[in-house]
Amino acid sequence: MNQPTDNAEFLVSHARVCDLIDRFERYAREKYLLPNYQEAEARKDFIDPLFKALGWDVDHEREHNPYEQEVKVERGLSVHDARSQKRADYAFHLAPNFRDVRFYVEAKKPSVDLNRSADAHFQTLRYGYSAKAPLAVLTDFEQIRVLDCRRRPHPDTALDQTYKSWHYTEFRDSAKFAEFYWLFSRQAHLDGSYQRRIDELPKPRGGAKQRGLFKGGYQPVDDSFLEELSDHREALAKAFKKADQSLDSATLTEIVQRTLDRLVFLRFLEDKQIETDIRLSDFGKGKGAWDDFRAASRRLDNIYNGIVFKPLDVLDDPGFNVDNGVIADICERLSAENSPYNFDAIPIHILGSIYERFLGSVIRATEKRAVVEEKPEVRKAGGVYYTPEYIVRYIVANTVGKQITGKTPAEIAKLRFADIACGSGSFLLGIYDELLRYHADWYNRPENDKQAKKDGCVKTEDEHWRLSLAQRRAILLNNVYGVDLDRQAVEVAQLSLFLKLLEDERATSARQYQLDYGRDTNLKRLLPDLSGNIKCGNSLIGWDVAGPAGLSNEDEQRLNPMNYEDEFPAVMRAGGFDSIVGNPPYEVVEKERSEASWPHQAFIDAIKTTDFYDSALGGKRNMYRFFVVRTIKLLKDGGRTGLIVPLSLLADISCAATRAYMINQLRPVDIDCFPQKDNASKRVFRDAKLSTMVYTGQVSSANVTLDGDVNIRVYPWNSFDDVPRSSTLLMEDIKLLDPENCPIPLVSGEQWSLCRKIHNNPSVVRFGDATGVKVTRGEINQTNYRRFITSSPKHARLLKGVEVAQYRIRTDRSQGQQEWFDEAAYLKEAKAKPIVRQQRIATQRITGVDERLRLVAAVAPVPAYFADSTNSIVVDETSPIKPKYILAILNSRLMQWRFKLTSTNNNVGTNEIESLPLLIPGNEGEKRRHDLIVERVEALIVAKQQEADATGSAKAVAERKCKALENEINRLVYQLYDLTDEEVTLIEG
């Protein structure tokens, strides 16, 4: 990529850096290169000014909120050797995203020979790799080295991961300086050129090639650490089973999980420099690695409290003795000296995503062995899909963020925010982060300075207020609540929140808290008890429902019913939660033909005893619809909710009741749609072929007049930065399309205006309301009637969806084999189906949601049985219109456009066809166009067959003839529906 050197900001920056070069060069030998010239001095004299010259707010002059500073600077730390963990000297962020690091800078004193310092390189690489930052800078100002952090670092190869390096004098050359400037200046990050340059980086040499975050496919930190955790889980499971053959699956899963949680938490404390006395690398230097681990757990429990180090049956029993070699090996691999990970740099939300996938497997114990396997629901879904952090931030900002805006800390302390399907806690972390940032911003406003001091805030080195540990604990306990059915997930959610609580602590602040704790009986241990906040239970089923269902003990154990009134009494007495956010499970309760699998059958049995979830019913029951209803009912009046759910909620007939409930309760409801599902890199959940949507809204019992009931934004890909098409819709207009199911169209305001015009045309009726027109699904279910389906052509014609093309029935099949229907055998068991001998139009019932043609219709041969992969349309003698007229309307570009406005999945349902606008010719002009369309369709059917049969130049002629006839039919349809040239352009664009 071109490196411009005539940019105004660049020229100013270059001039300032040249001044630094002159200053350093003037006194280099007599001062700056001497061993007694320290790193802190080099940072103050040269490295800080270098990055200020690049436009960064190093001194925090622009932003006082410590949670929203673009450069986080670590001051005055020294460690006994370079490989010991400490925080990076500089971490650079770009507003408004202060959660994800853009790049790190590690500083050294100029007398250090950076070219040979493998430890310094390894340390810097760990920062970048752990934070998923592709590049990092290692510098003493004399040398500026850019390190490639895309590959998992190793001490032996750290020197090989240098991408570029310069001697400081080379920056006098504007072209050389431009290479550095357009990677690390604030301007390069603001205008997006940094990311473009990252995309152009050559593949790093060596390393395991695996699918991952960066181009080149090298394994990112989350995949790498997940693999390592999985290895440790398997090793521990086998060692624990060997130590006690009687351990069952549940106990093994629990004690292995707790062991790993302790090890990870301890490494976190070590890397944060909160815990300086206990290190993983010391386990084994006492009585043995296992005994040292358990002794450390007891000691740490006295300091930190919380669930992590709390004594656990079996694991902490003195008689449970485990092979020292196994735990010693794990500790060695995880230790700060050997591990490629820096837990101070790994964002908490990335750790959460690792754990979310990790929890997709459990340990199954046999009589003598222990094996790790995927949970059945994970195997069925094809994996665990962790909510991307930008989605979490967006939902939390539009729910919790709106609830706290303008409020004081004292007012916020009375609010309660929850995720009732919290998993490993991604949304709980989002809630907590939003609260911490808001509080820090509020206290750093000049008018709140006295209150900050009174409430116990702590002054930073640059004279800004930060929240004390006691304040952070209080916010967590007061405001953050969660529920999940998985006990391990509940434990990990608590662990994640503990990590977030301690994120900005240091040994000094933690020790001070402990000293204060010893003097003040009102204080608690470092970590709060979250057992009252994060619950293991069934968010959907309470004992009021489970009790009358007459469930077995086994079903009760699996369902784990929970009454909110019992578990969160203060919240429910106050009217409910103030906000509920999350990503509920998208799991179909039934298998094919409404057969439920256990334990889903127990769930179905339970909900049959209540009308509480009537709004979640319809078609195959999907769990997310129950959560949509449950979250709204758990909110107090004025409470806000936001969920990410499948896009099917907007238009599918099975979701009609849930959709109506959501819109009626959340007026208005804001909906952000991500229809893309076929391109993995462009959908929200990369590994799940699923269109999604985010909805947010506020529950209100007041009757208010609104400009719109639904505010909708449709994005082309998976980013809120893309330009969406937007519209505001009223329910009375939505009912024009389908008064019974009320599908919500994915439209811009301009498109919606045109859609309303078409449906309001006095000659237009819905297909389903047209006289003499009947739309049904194909009559032959290919599962139930499989015994009558044969490969012998001597039997009756069986028409499948794949055989239907526009205006013709295919003989050239793109998939599957031609099959027939044994009518004689069928009639011995069932009644005849007269419809098979009627003239019918067939449409494909399944077409990809992103395909150009969603409506594909042709006149079917007679007689023919229709498979259930088709739809059947019969036009009888009472209809004022001809079948081939309907064929033209269905295949027209106008109807393709209209259908896609409300289609959210691959099905072309009969209800969707019935809701389409069909113009019934009334005046003479409309009737003439009707007849002309029929005439052109008859000619096109013949031409389509000619095209299919022709070869060579004859085929090219036939193709042009078909195209001309199709264009003429489309023109006539546009005229029939009275569309202007501008409206036609909108449709075809």
Of the candidates 214, 224, 256, the one whose C-alpha atom is nearest the C-alpha of residue 334 is: 224
Q: E strands, 444-525, where?
A: 458-459, 465-466, 480-484
Listing DSSP states for 762-787 in one string gives TTEEEGGGSTTEEEEE-SB-TTTTGG
- The CATH superfamily assigned to 752-988 is Adenine-n6-DNA-methyltransferase Taqi, Chain A, domain 2 (3.90.220.10)
**Residue 795: half-sphere exposure toward Cβ, Cα within 13 Å:** 18
Closest residue by Cα to residue 73 from 441, 461, 535, 454: 461
Q: What is the pLDDT of residues 607-616, one digit of tens each?
A: 888 899 999 9
Query: Quick one: 982 exposed, middle or buried, by C-beta within 10 A (0-12, 13-18, 19+)?
Result: exposed
User: Tokens representing 290?
Assistant: 């296992």
Rounded to whole angstroms, the Cα distance separating 756 from 292 reads 73
Quickly tell me which residue has 């169209």 as its tokens.
Answer: 745
Instruction: Report the C-alpha gap between 809 and 242 in whole angstroms.
Output: 65
Task: Kindly give, in sequence order, each residue whose CB lies less than 8 Å from that of residue 123, ignoring residues fewer than 6 positions away.
Answer: 82, 83, 86, 106
Could you read off the pLDDT of 631-641 as tens digits, one per residue? 999 999 999 99
The DSSP annotation for 885-913 comes to HHHHHHHSHHHHHHHHHH--SSB--HHHH
Q: Residue 556: its pLDDT value, please?
A: 87
* Token couple for 583: 């990503």
Residue with tokens 């398997």: 234
Q: Write the CB contacts of 942 (distance below 8 Å, at least 6 apart in sequence).
A: none
| Closest residue by Cα to residue 646 from 347, 366, 973, 385 | 385
Comparing C-alpha atoms, which of 241, 771, 303, 302 is closest to residue 507? 303
Spatial distance between the Cα atoms of 407 and 409, rounded to a whole number of angstroms: 7
Distance CA 459, CA 277 (A): 27
Chain segment 104-152, per-residue pLDDT in tens = 999 999 999 999 999 999 999 999 999 999 999 999 999 999 999 999 9
Query: Rounded to 10 degrees, what is the CA torsion of 180, 184, 190, 191?
Result: 20
**Nearest Cα residue to 961 out of 32, 446, 7, 969:** 969
Say if CB 818 and CB 800 are below 8 A apart: no
| Predicted pLDDT at 209 | 39
What confidence score (pLDDT) does residue 704 get?
66
Query: Mean pLDDT in runs of 10 for the chain (989 residues)?
Result: 83 97 95 95 96 95 85 63 62 89 96 92 94 96 96 91 96 96 96 90 56 49 91 95 94 94 92 86 91 93 83 94 94 91 89 85 88 79 80 97 98 98 95 96 95 94 88 96 94 92 72 55 71 96 86 86 96 97 89 53 84 92 95 97 96 94 93 91 89 95 77 94 94 90 93 96 96 97 95 95 94 78 95 95 90 94 96 96 98 96 90 96 95 97 93 93 97 97 94
